[in-house]
Structure 1
Amino acid sequence: MTAFTLAELAERLGAQLHGDATALISAVGTLEEATSGQISFLSNSKYRKFLQTTTAGAVLIKDEDREFCPVNALVVKDPYVAFARIAQWLDSTPAAAQGRAANIQIDPSALVPDSVQIGANVVIAAGAVIGENVQIGAGCFIGEGAVIGAGCKIWPNVTLYHRVQLGKNCLVHSGAVIGADGFGFANERGRWVKIPQTGTVLIGDDCEIGANTTIDRGALENTVIGQNVILDNQVQIAHNVQIGDHTAIAGCTVVAGSTKIGRYCIIGGACAINGHMDICDGVQITGMSMIIKSITEKGIYSSGTPASSNLEWRKNSVRFRQLDQMYQKLRELEQQVQRLSSAPPQDE
Structure 2
Amino acid sequence: MSISASTSATVGEIADWLDVQGIDVTIDVAPDEAATRITGAASLACATAEQVSYYDGDRRSADLAGSTQAGLVLTNKAGRRELRETTSCLVVEQPRLAFTRLLEHLYPLPAGPAGMHASAVVDDSATIDPTARIEAHVSIGAGARIGPQVVIGPGCVIGSNVVIGEATRLLARVTLLNDSLIGARCVIQPGVVIGSDGFGLAQDKGGWRRVPQVGRVVIGNDVDIGANTTIDRGALEDTVIADGVKLDNLIQIAHNVRIGEHSAVAGCAGLAGSSEVGRHCTLGGGVGLAGHLTLTDNVHITGMSMVTRSIRRPGIYSAGTPLDTNERWHRNAARFKQLDRLARRVKQLEKRLGDMPTPEDDS
If the length of structure 1 is used for normalisation, what is the TM-score? 0.95
User: How much has 1:190 moved relative to structure 2?
Assistant: 2.1
Aligned to 1:21: 34
Aligned to 2:143: 127
Residues 327 and 97 of structure 1: CA distance in aligned 2, closer, same or farther (over 3 Å): farther
On the 8 A contact 1:97/1:118 being kept in 2, the answer is: no
Distance in 1 separating the partners of 2:275 and 2:39: 44
On the 8 A contact 1:4/1:25 being kept in 2, the answer is: yes
Aligned to 1:7: 12
On the 8 A contact 1:154/1:171 being kept in 2, the answer is: yes
Aligned to 1:275: 291
User: What's the secondary structure of 2:191's corresponding residue?
Assistant: coil
Distance in 2 separating the partners of 1:294 and 1:97: 48
On the 8 A contact 1:97/1:136 being kept in 2, the answer is: no
Equivalenced residue count is 347
Q: Which amino acid aligns with 1:56?
A: A
Aligned to 1:220: 236
On the 8 A contact 1:257/1:276 being kept in 2, the answer is: yes
Residues 169 and 331 of structure 1: CA distance in aligned 2, closer, same or farther (over 3 Å): same
User: What's the secondary structure of 2:67's corresponding residue?
Assistant: coil
User: How much has 1:49 moved relative to structure 2?
Assistant: 2.3
User: How much has 1:52 moved relative to structure 2?
Assistant: 2.2
Q: How does 1:258-273 map to 2 (within 5 A)?
A: 258-273=274-289
Distance in 2 separating the partners of 1:331 and 1:232: 47
Deviations 1:274-312 (A, max 9, x none): 111110111110001010111111110000211111111
The equivalent position to 1:31 in structure 2, one of 37, 44, 60, is 44
Structure 1 unaligned segments of length 5 or more: list them. none
Deviations 1:202-244 (A, max 9, x none): 1111111111100011111101101111111110111111101
Aligned to 2:3: none
The equivalent position to 1:154 in structure 2, one of 163, 170, 174, is 170
The equivalent position to 1:53 in structure 2, one of 64, 67, 87, is 67
- In the alignment, does 2:208 pair up with 1:195? no
Deviations 1:41-91 (A, max 9, x none): 101341222222222111001012324342111111111111111111111
Distance in 2 separating the partners of 1:196 and 1:65: 57
Q: Which moved more, 1:19-28 or 1:90-99?
A: 90-99
Residues 127 and 334 of structure 1: CA distance in aligned 2, closer, same or farther (over 3 Å): same
User: How much has 1:198 moved relative to structure 2?
Assistant: 1.0
User: What's the secondary structure of 1:22's corresponding residue?
Assistant: coil
Q: How does 1:303-322 map to 2 (within 5 A)?
A: 303-322=319-338
Structure 2 unaligned segments of length 5 or more: list them. 1-5
Instruction: Indicate the RMSD between aligned Cα atoms, in angstroms.
Output: 1.9
The equivalent position to 1:80 in structure 2, one of 96, 119, 128, is 96
Distance in 2 separating the partners of 1:145 and 1:87: 35
On the 8 A contact 1:180/1:216 being kept in 2, the answer is: yes
User: What's the secondary structure of 2:127's corresponding residue?
Assistant: coil
Q: Which amino acid aligns with 2:49?
A: S
User: How much has 1:92 moved relative to structure 2?
Assistant: 5.9
If the length of structure 2 is used for normalisation, what is the TM-score? 0.91
Distance in 1 separating the partners of 2:298 and 2:17: 30
Q: Which moved more, 1:324-333 or 1:334-343?
A: 334-343
Deviations 1:158-180 (A, max 9, x none): 11011101111111111111011
Distance in 1 separating the partners of 2:137 and 2:310: 44
Distance in 1 separating the partners of 2:266 and 2:357: 53
Q: How does 1:234-313 map to 2 (within 5 A)?
A: 234-313=250-329
Residues 23 and 315 of structure 1: CA distance in aligned 2, closer, same or farther (over 3 Å): same
User: How much has 1:100 moved relative to structure 2?
Assistant: 3.1
Distance in 1 separating the partners of 2:357 and 2:201: 58
Residues 251 and 284 of structure 1: CA distance in aligned 2, closer, same or farther (over 3 Å): same
Distance in 2 separating the partners of 1:237 and 1:6: 44
- In the alignment, does 2:180 pair up with 1:164? yes
Q: Which amino acid aligns with 1:3?
A: S
On the 8 A contact 1:6/1:17 being kept in 2, the answer is: no
On the 8 A contact 1:96/1:154 being kept in 2, the answer is: no
Distance in 1 separating the partners of 2:195 and 2:96: 35
Q: Which amino acid aligns with 1:28?
A: A
User: How much has 1:344 moved relative to structure 2?
Assistant: 7.4
On the 8 A contact 2:114/2:131 being kept in 1, the answer is: no
Q: How does 1:105-116 map to 2 (within 5 A)?
A: 105-116=121-132
